Amino acid sequence: MLILPDLAPILPWYEKNRRDLPWRHTKDPYRIWVSEIMLQQTRVEAVIPYYERFLNALPTVAALAAAPEAQILKLWEGLGYYSRVRNMQKAARTVMEVHNGVFPTTFEGIRALCGIGEYTAGAIASFAFDLPYPAVDGNVLRVAARLLAFEEDVLAPTSKKQLTAAVAAAQPEDHAADFNQAMIELGATVCLPNGVPKCEGCPLRAVCRAHAEGKEIALPIRRKPAPRKKERRTVWILRCGDRIALRRRPESGLLAGLFEPFCCEGHQTPSEIAATLTQWGTSPLRIAPLGEAKHIFTHLEWHMVGFEVIIPEDGMDFVPSELFFAPREEIDVQYALPSAYRAYRPFM
């Protein structure tokens, strides 16, 4: 069993140095849950406006449970990893149907909800109910790994288990919320990744083994991720009058259920685009290049070229049946489009 040093000095440090973040003003488990799900893959500064907009639109679990899918996807537009918000809605429906609308108040009850893992359950249990469970995210793993001069790959499941157990054992009986927030805060603002941590401002400097051994930059150790797959795509901003062709992506898989412009595999030339239109039974009025763009997902890169493709009014009848034509003014308000297409949005 790994034994962490006494972590008590982080409590007064947190009191003095904490950032004023909107989700730190509430004990409402619903609001804390929304913040933690948003923060899973997204930076604090980027989350704040989404958090406020989401809670203005859907202020309660009941509102989230009842919201149309199109609304929740639109509220999430740009945050990515859309399964997060779909799972939240499933969980909200469970709260309404199984828990009579009352958010569960035990760790096990929270952990059983769809989309809530060990970390998020610990975060909600401690922040909302002050229950003494650890909340070990990437920030806290890094802090613990450095404190212990832990030399294994921190992302390996066994390492995560060991480090989480060590943090749980070091948790004071009281102040669960502040202790967990403080550990996250230390990782986010002092014990920084990729580069130089700010050890001079760290309340745990005196007990940190990585610091004592001069290893704070080398740790934590992370295995190299598999290289991302690269895909070439041609994005058609297919226009007919003032309408743009969109399609809905499949119900499962990457960007499930979101809307997108028509795309083809590979990098097409204008004459290949014209040939496709001829095959459909129509022809272009104009094919104009819109430039290249790249989007990086966790395991995949899209290397895109874009074209504005204008077809005549009657061309609408010849396009593949997966496409529909949306008036331009509706695209902004009605359809959730992934930010992968950001470079081409001005042309839509």
Cα atoms in the Cβ-side hemisphere of radius 13 Å centred on 226? 7
Residue 28, SS3 per DSSP: coil
Residues 123-152 that bind ligand ADE (CB under 6 A): 137
Residue 111: count of CB within 10 angstroms of its CB: 17
Among 44, 62, 168, 207, binds ligand ADE (CB under 6 A): 44
Distance between CA atoms of residues 156 and 163, nearest Å: 11
Residues 3-42 that bind ligand ADE (CB under 6 A): 21, 23, 36, 39
Place of tokens 């989480």: 164
Least Cβ distance, residue 184 to ligand ADE (angstroms)? 5
Cα atoms in the Cβ-side hemisphere of radius 13 Å centred on 325? 18
Residue 191 or 319: the one with the smaller Cβ distance to ligand ADE is 191
| Catalytic-labelled residue, pool 36, 77, 185, 308 | 36
Look at residues 291, 232, 290, 234 and name the one whose alpha carbon lies nearest to residue 264.
234
Could you say whether residue 170 binds ligand ADE (CB under 6 A)?
no
Clarify whether 77 is annotated catalytic.
no
Least Cβ distance, residue 155 to ligand ADE (angstroms)? 17
User: Are 11 and 186 a contacting pair, CB within 8 Å?
Assistant: no
Cα distances from 57 to residues 35, 42, 48, in angstroms, run 15, 20, 14
* CA-CA-CA-CA dihedral for 69, 73, 75, 79, to nearest 10: 150
The site for ligand ADE, by CB under 6 A, has a size of 9
Least Cβ distance, residue 34 to ligand ADE (angstroms)? 11
Residue 39 or 258: the one with the smaller Cβ distance to ligand ADE is 39
Residue 27 or 345: the one with the smaller Cβ distance to ligand ADE is 27
Pick the piece of the chain touching ligand ADE (CB under 6 A) from 162-170, 181-189, 244-252, 324-332.
Answer: 181-189
Least Cβ distance, residue 45 to ligand ADE (angstroms)? 11
Catalytic residue annotation:
36
